[in-house]
Amino acid sequence: MTRRFRMVVFGLGAAGLAGLLAWGFAGLPSFGSFDGAYGQLLAHLTVPERHATSAVSVSTFDFRGVDTLGEEFILFTAAIGVLVLLRGQRAGETVAAEPIRQREPAAESKTLRSVGTALAAPVLVLGIYVVAHGHLTPGGGFQGGVILMTAFLLVYLAGTHLDLRRATPLGAMEAAEGTGAAGFALIGLGGIVLAGAFLENFIGFGTVGNLVSGGVIPLLNISVGLEVMGAVLVIVGELLDQRFLVRRGDR
């Protein structure tokens, strides 16, 4: 199929699609007047039933928890896919990864190094805060997990490596990802064992507005935060040829 022919086919297809979209959008309720009853019902049940103040978090982890389980496993599978593609490639690699300079830091800009060093710890605290307060304010496991990932990436950008005593950092990140994914499923199974239905709540709900409230939602937030952090770090680590997740004495 030559390029011109492809453009012609695309032009016709796009024109048809645009017509269909316009016809479909005309049938939607006009902007701002959506009165879906399901969403309003969930919003009204958030505080009295679940004692949490963020309706979106409660919908994500409690009322529609099974959807989140599926999304979380898409994330897990994509990270495994990246691992399989890029790590298997490294075995028969004819192009070496960029060499690690042992004496000099990886980044050459002093501004980058100093800002990276200064911001790594505050961003870590911010990430933990966002994960922990997911059921009270905007935030939660997904956002906090990516913020936590950024904290560890800043360590790399600051020109140094992670040095965890015994575990290799890469192994720790993979363990974090696996723990998070399994944790969500296990909490769901705990719902079956202790409360009669998958992902049913089995902890007391607590008082509205407290950090420990909302039942299992904080636990699910933490497990999703661990998993997102581990998955994105593993992906970024593979794309960077594992340069920032290698133990210092290995090379």
Using CB under 8 A, which residues numbered 208 to 247 contact another protein?
A: 209, 228, 231-232, 235-236, 238-241
How many residues sit close enough to another protein to count as binding (CB under 8 A)?
77
Residue 89 is a binding residue for another protein (CB under 8 A): yes
- Specify the residue, 64 or 110, whose C-beta has the smaller distance to another protein: 64
Residue 18 is a binding residue for another protein (CB under 8 A): yes
Cβ proximity of 170 and 245 under 8 Å: yes
Closest approach, Cβ 127 to another protein, in A, equals 9
- Kindly identify the residues of this chain, within the stretch 172-201, that bind another protein according to CB under 8 A: none
Neighbour-count burial of 110, counting CB atoms closer than 10 A to its CB (0-12 exposed, 13-18 middle, 19+ buried): exposed
Residue 57 is a binding residue for another protein (CB under 8 A): yes
In the list 12, 16, 66, 98, the residue contacting another protein (rule: CB under 8 A) is 98
With contacts defined by CB under 8 A, name the span among 11-19, 113-121, 173-181, 191-199 that binds another protein: 11-19
**Which residue shows structure tokens 């890469």?**
170
Residue 4 is a binding residue for another protein (CB under 8 A): no
Closest approach, Cβ 104 to another protein, in A, equals 19
CA-to-CA distance for 97 and 84, rounded, in angstroms?
Answer: 17
Closest approach, Cβ 40 to another protein, in A, equals 7
Three-state secondary structure readout of 190-250: HHHHHHCCCCCCCCCCCCCCCCCCCCCHHHHHHHHHHHHHHHHHHHHHHHCCCHHHCCHHH
Cβ proximity of 134 and 57 under 8 Å: yes
Residue 38 is a binding residue for another protein (CB under 8 A): yes
Name which of 52, 75, 48, 60 is nearest 199 in CA terms: 60
Residue 153 is a binding residue for another protein (CB under 8 A): yes
In the list 66, 102, 106, 130, the residue contacting another protein (rule: CB under 8 A) is 130
